[in-house]
Structure 1
């Protein structure tokens, strides 16, 4: 009996890091483009994000409104060649000094920027005008270590790409209505499809590696979006590529929300008189676990502790 072992389920209620979504991001990060992005890439990124986070589509959502304001602020700078050059060299402080010295500063509010870009249409109207390809959704397993400390994954992406091809094709087709006189005072309404002639195109399969950033504390089902990296659309915009995060199985821990669960084993003697154990956390630091007195089968004990900078909530030990 002294060597009989009983499984002890130890719930390590460790709060995962929660980073601010926009905290510390550059204007390029806000628009989700690279620092060397072209003017056209910046415009496309702004259009997608501005339509997504427009207040008309997110009424009562303060986080979306804040995001919309930051998107417009970033676009106002990066769409202006002079401001962008100053920002690239000296950051936001350089922009402030430039404005204080008599240079062109800010001033346009976010709705003015949106209206000047879209020509006064509402978010819903502008979004309906966009012909898009299909979104591609990929389930991506992230390790508990990456979800706890942050990390990145290299993913191979094989997709259709539109390339030039010989010849011409009909494009920008539209219906035109006209009236034809068929007798005295009699007219017949006619509809005719009119198309333009555009350079021909074809689909070609190409592949490349993408880097998917895993932020600390991401939840299952959260998505990392690569805009216009989904299925392409001739005479339209490509859909989006979305990596949907899932927590991969782990050999020592199981995640439930923001809690980590681990199973340890103690002897019958330890269950009767108490025990001290040490487990290795996800970032490799050691966590001391102890209990005094009898640990009864099915009994749950709650205690509080501090592990480095993380507050452990009510943690439970339960025997089986």
Structure 2
């Protein structure tokens, strides 16, 4: 399972922290480990990315809920083999979250081309994709790797994704000088007022295309089919959603790819019923076996197991096979297999069988005692308490 640190621990906030508290905690960490403040320090850079990964999850209401329930496996760490911070560049982190720091990130200089006015440039983000993956109980027991085909938008190979013919260089927008924003100063009765807005010429991208790529019509993306290898961790459940960062649709003319969201579906098992991490099997015994005892073979998730039946086993008794259920998705133990004992009563009897049963019925051994009747009554009453 994942060895990642807890996201709340990384940002040093409680699990009950509000969105504003999480935002403030991330800003504090990002300023502390900002690359401009710690030049050449690889450890600070990793902590900077780690904080960004934690904030990427905890600042999103849906991702935070999945993380609280399933841990790292619920937000892509297990599905993709890496999280947000580990799978994106510094530019991606700044483009995604730089806006919460205002015009200058923590008061420091630029990093990777994101200094000063350039932070006003709009960064495109591709849309997320959602796919459903059906799994058997055996696949859920062990975890599984699957290859799936996904139709998605990918970067245009003819223009290298920038939307211009033959991938030629884009020119700087003359309206905003590449900043992506235009600033206007107006004289009011209160004095000069300065306002900034997205550049109407380049829509905030800071670049303009002189000749569009014929293959993607200047969008920088085309629709293709891609085979994606996904790893599903053991113990997932119906309706659980995993996320693979950056495996969704590509963004127009560069930017940040969307995510691939993997929704888990369980195939119905012919013998077993899942109850959280336990599985239930309904065992039907013949009357002689229930009365005399013996050994029977029952199905489990990964094969068969022999179960000893004690003489006089009563209908409704529950037998337990330890650790024959499903593992916890967070790696804390494994459930059991619960075997509900039922005694099969034949519907059609031969004359010989009927006579034998009538003879047995006259025996005192086949008449339930007062204590036995009381025990059955108490079990029945507990069902309605």
TM-score, normalising length: structure 2: 0.45
Q: Distance in 2 between matches of 1:272 and 1:213?
A: 48
Matched residue, 2:150 = 157
Q: CA deviation at 1:187?
A: 8.9
Could you say if the C-alpha distance between residues 221 and 205 of structure 1 is closer, same or farther in structure 2, counting changes exceeding 3 Å?
A: same
Q: CA deviation at 1:136?
A: 1.6
* Alignment counterpart, residue 226 of structure 1, candidates 209, 225, 244: 244
Q: CA deviation at 1:172?
A: 6.8
* Alignment counterpart, residue 197 of structure 1, candidates 199, 208, 216: 208
What's the RMSD between the two structures over aligned residues?
Answer: 4.9
Aligned residues, how many? 226
Q: Which moves more between the two structures, 219-228 or 150-159?
A: 219-228
Could you say if the C-alpha distance between residues 233 and 47 of structure 1 is closer, same or farther in structure 2, counting changes exceeding 3 Å?
A: farther
For 2:209, what is the secondary structure of its paired residue? strand
Do residues 300 (structure 1) and 301 (structure 2) align?
no
Asked if structure 2 preserves the Cα contact closer than 8 Å seen for 1:228 and 1:241, the reply is: yes
Could you say if the C-alpha distance between residues 303 and 214 of structure 1 is closer, same or farther in structure 2, counting changes exceeding 3 Å?
A: closer
User: 1:146-180 CA distances to partner (integer Å, 9 max, x unpaired)?
Assistant: 11122211211111123235568979743331448
Q: CA deviation at 1:55?
A: 9.9
Could you say if the C-alpha distance between residues 147 and 156 of structure 1 is closer, same or farther in structure 2, counting changes exceeding 3 Å?
A: same
Could you say if the C-alpha distance between residues 264 and 215 of structure 1 is closer, same or farther in structure 2, counting changes exceeding 3 Å?
A: same
Residues 103-114 of structure 1 aligned to structure 2 (within 5 Å)? none
Could you say if the C-alpha distance between residues 253 and 188 of structure 1 is closer, same or farther in structure 2, counting changes exceeding 3 Å?
A: closer
User: 1:273-305 CA distances to partner (integer Å, 9 max, x unpaired)?
Assistant: 334211343333x311122133444x2335565
Structure ranking higher in strand proportion: 1
For structure 1, the residue ranges without an aligned partner over 5 or more in a row are 1-19, 24-44, 80-113
Do residues 270 (structure 1) and 289 (structure 2) align?
yes
Q: CA deviation at 1:132?
A: 2.4
Highest RCO, 1 vs 2 (Cα 8 Å, sep ≥ 6): 1
Q: CA deviation at 1:256?
A: 1.8
Q: CA deviation at 1:123?
A: 9.3
Matched residue, 2:340 = 317
User: 1:232-286 CA distances to partner (integer Å, 9 max, x unpaired)?
Assistant: 33253221001122222222322221112223332222233334211343333x3
Q: Distance in 1 between matches of 2:237 and 2:130?
A: 16
Could you say if the C-alpha distance between residues 145 and 49 of structure 1 is closer, same or farther in structure 2, counting changes exceeding 3 Å?
A: farther
Q: Distance in 1 between matches of 2:131 and 2:234?
A: 20
TM-score, normalising length: structure 1: 0.53
Asked if structure 2 preserves the Cα contact closer than 8 Å seen for 1:160 and 1:204, the reply is: yes
Matched residue, 1:287 = 305
Asked if structure 2 preserves the Cα contact closer than 8 Å seen for 1:135 and 1:230, the reply is: yes
